[in-house]
Amino acid sequence: MKNADTFHIGDVAARTGLSLRTLRYWEEMGLVEPTGRTDGGFRLYAEVDIQRLLLVRALKPADFTLEELQEILRLRDLLARDDLDGATRAKSERELERFLERAADRCKILRERLVAAELAMSALRESLTPTAD
Amino acid sequence: MKNADTFHIGDVAARTGLSLRTLRYWEEMGLVEPTGRTDGGFRLYAEVDIQRLLLVRALKPADFTLEELQEILRLRDLLARDDLDGATRAKSERELERFLERAADRCKILRERLVAAELAMSALRESLTPTAD
DNA sequence: TTGCTCCTCACGTCACGTGAGGTGGC
DNA sequence: TTGCTCCTCACGTCACGTGAGGTGGC
C-alpha cells in the first residue's frame, strides 16, 4: 500500500519539524492534503506534499493566517498550470503580487519590533547596574 | 475622583496602541494593574502604569508568554527597591539575566525565520516569470 | 439631560496541545 | 504475535475579539 516514494505522517513530522497535530490541522483546513491513504487509513505524503509543507512553514513567520496561506497556495497552483487563459493568469499574478507586498511590509514591521524589543531588553539589562561600575 | 495625572482606559489605549480588551486582560492576568479606580469603578492609570504597559508591549515580539512577562516585571520591581539584601538581589539579577539571554536567542531565531520567509517569497515571485524575460 | 465612555459577564476564535480509546503495518 | 505507529473524536489553552446589557462622568 506504501511505495518507496511516500511517507507516513511520523516521517513527515521528523523531516519538517511540524507536529502530527499541525499536519492534521493543516489538512483539516484544506492547506496541505496528503496525496493518498493506505487501506487502513494511514496518511501517505508524497515528496510534492512535503515541499508544500515546507513552503507553508517558511511563509508562516510573515504572519499569514492559514486562510491567507491557503489562498497563496491556490494562486501558486493555478499559475503553475499551462492551460490558463491570459486574463486569468494576469489577474492571479496581480493577486499574488499583492499578497507578497503585504507580507514584505509585515516582515519589515516585525523586524522593527524586534529592534525595539532588543532596545528595551538592553535598557532593562543596564538598569541592573544603576550606580556601580 | 480623577486628577490631572491619571488617565481613563480609553486615553491609555490611544497612547499605547493597545485595545481596551488587552488592557483589561493584562490586568486580569496580574501583569499591569491600574493605580486606582473612580468611585464609579472606572480604571485610573498613572504615568508609571503606562510605562509598564509600554515595556510589556516592547518585549512582546520576543515571544514571551504573559506569565513570563509577569515574572520579568516582578524581578524588575524587586531590583528597583533599595531595601533588598545582597543575596536576594544577586539571585534576582541572575534570574533576570537568564530571561534576557533566552529572549535574545529567540530574537535571533525570529530574525533567521524572517530571512527564510523573505527568501521563500522571492522564490515565489520569481516563479511568476519562469520562461519569459 | 444627553451621549459618550466605561463597566462586567460570557461566548467566540485561531492554531494548535493533549489525552482517550481503538486499530493498522511490518 | 508484540509493540510501535497511526486513526478519530473531543476537550483544553493562550491571548485576546466581540457583542449584550447596564451605568458612570463631565
Asked whether the predicted pLDDT for residue B133 surpasses 70, the reply is no
pLDDT in tens, A39-86: 999 999 999 999 999 999 999 999 999 999 999 999 999 999 999 999
pLDDT of residue A3: 72
Best A91, A128, A129, A131 member to test B by mutation, with max B CBs in 10 Å, is A128
- Nearest residue of A to residue B57 by CA position? A117
Cβ of A96 within 8 Å of Cβ of B62? The answer is no
- Stretch B95-120: mean pLDDT: 95
Cβ of A117 within 8 Å of Cβ of B76? The answer is no
Task: Give the separation between CA A50 and CA A5, rounded to whole angstroms.
Answer: 11
Instruction: Select the more confidently predicted residue: B131 or A84.
Output: A84
Asked whether the predicted pLDDT for residue A131 surpasses 90, the reply is no
Whole-prediction pTM value? 0.91
| pLDDT cut 90: percent of chain B above it | 90
Q: Which nucleotides of D are covered by protein (CB under 7 A)?
A: 5-8, 14-18, 23-26
pLDDT in tens, B3-53: 779 999 999 999 999 999 999 999 999 999 999 999 999 999 999 999 999
B119 to chain A: which residues are within 8 Å by CB? 58
- Nearest residue of B to residue A130 by CA position? B80
| Segments of B1-133 assigned E as strands | 6-7, 36-37, 43-46
Tell me how far CA of residue A16 lies from CA of A11, A43, A133, B33, in angstroms: 9, 16, 47, 42
Asked whether the predicted pLDDT for residue A133 surpasses 60, the reply is no
pLDDT of residue B130: 55
- Cell numbers describing residue B1: 475622583
**A103 pLDDT tier (thresholds 50, 70, 90):** very high
Distance A41 CA to C23 C1' (A): 10
Task: Give the separation between CA A114 and CA A87, rounded to whole angstroms.
Answer: 41
